[in-house]
């Protein structure tokens, strides 16, 4: 039975910058399709069908970035970690889990996303903790994603919490 997931490497990684991704320019059709999916089966608001701007929850990286680079020393970035952070490159233990779940999200918004915007996403390590649950010892992770647009304006900063056991 696992007694703890946490060691000094994991604990001290809090705040480490991991990767920088740059999106393709946001397309009007991507905004429309997103809105149609999240409002289905009712029609999406005209604002989004006209692609005046994107819904705040729109993911400019849903189908992959235009470019990706690792910010971790010694990591050539050939293994792209789109969601979360590259725990292997950080030297974290090679944990084995039965399942992983989306624990929650905490987001602060800045300016809206518009057609043609190019978004940069810098991911960093948040806090890693653990607690006992009905499925055994659970590892609770945070990855922090900071989006800026081509003008350097903050679009959003999201803390994603994951649960693995």
Partner 1 sequence: MTVKVGDELPTFTRETGFANWNRYAAVNDEFVPIHMDDAAGEAAGNGGAFGMGNLQWAYLHNMLRSWVGENGEILSIEVQFRSPNVKGQTVTAKGVVTAVDGDVISLDVWTEQQEGTKLAPGSAKVKMGK
* Nearer of residues 67 and 102 to partner 1, judged by Cβ: 102
Among 2, 9, 56, 67, binds partner 1 (CB under 8 A): 56
Among 20, 24, 51, 55, binds partner 1 (CB under 8 A): 55
- The answer to whether residue 105 forms part of the interface with partner 1 (CB under 8 A) is yes
Site string for partner 1, 128-147 (x = CB under 8 A): -------x------------
- The answer to whether residue 40 forms part of the interface with partner 1 (CB under 8 A) is yes
Distance CA 19, CA 71 (A): 5
- The answer to whether residue 11 forms part of the interface with partner 1 (CB under 8 A) is no
CB atoms within 10 A of CB 112: 16
Q: Closest Cα partner for 115 from 23, 31, 45?
A: 31
Q: Which residues contact 12 (CB under 8 A, 6 or more apart)?
A: none
Give me the least distance between CB of 93 and partner 1, in Å please. Answer: 22
Tell me if residue 126 falls in helix, strand or coil: coil
Give me the least distance between CB of 39 and partner 1, in Å please. Answer: 6
CB atoms within 10 A of CB 154: 13
Tell me the C-alpha to C-alpha distance, in Å, between residue 106 and each of 11, 64, 162: 21, 22, 12
DSSP summary character for residue 66: S
Residue with tokens 């948040």: 126
- The answer to whether residue 155 forms part of the interface with partner 1 (CB under 8 A) is no
* Nearer of residues 72 and 81 to partner 1, judged by Cβ: 81
Distance CA 25, CA 119 (A): 8
- The answer to whether residue 59 forms part of the interface with partner 1 (CB under 8 A) is yes
* Nearer of residues 53 and 93 to partner 1, judged by Cβ: 53
What residues line the site for partner 1 (CB under 8 A)? 30, 33-34, 36-41, 45, 47, 55-57, 59, 62-64, 98-99, 101-109, 135, 161
């Amino acid at each position: 039975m696992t007694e703890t997931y946490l060691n000094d490497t994991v604990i001290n990684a809090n705040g480490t910058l991991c990767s920088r991704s740059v999106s393709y320019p946001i397309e009007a059709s991507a905004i429309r399709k997103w809105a149609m999916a999240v409002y289905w089966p009712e029609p999406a608001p005209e604002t989004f069908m006209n692609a005046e701007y994107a819904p705040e929850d729109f993911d400019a990286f849903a189908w992959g970035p235009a470019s990706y680079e690792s910010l971790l020393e010694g990591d050539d970035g050939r293994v792209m970690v789109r969601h979360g952070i590259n725990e292997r490159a950080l030297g974290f233990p090679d944990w084995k889990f039965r399942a992983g779940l989306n624990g929650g999200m905490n987001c602060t918004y800045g300016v809206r996303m518009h057609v043609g915007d190019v978004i940069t996403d810098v991911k960093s390590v948040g806090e890693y903790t653990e607690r006992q649950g009905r499925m055994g010892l659970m590892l609770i992770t945070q990855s922090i994603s900071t989006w800026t647009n081509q003008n350097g304006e903050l679009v959003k900063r999201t803390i994603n919490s994951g649960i693995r056991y």
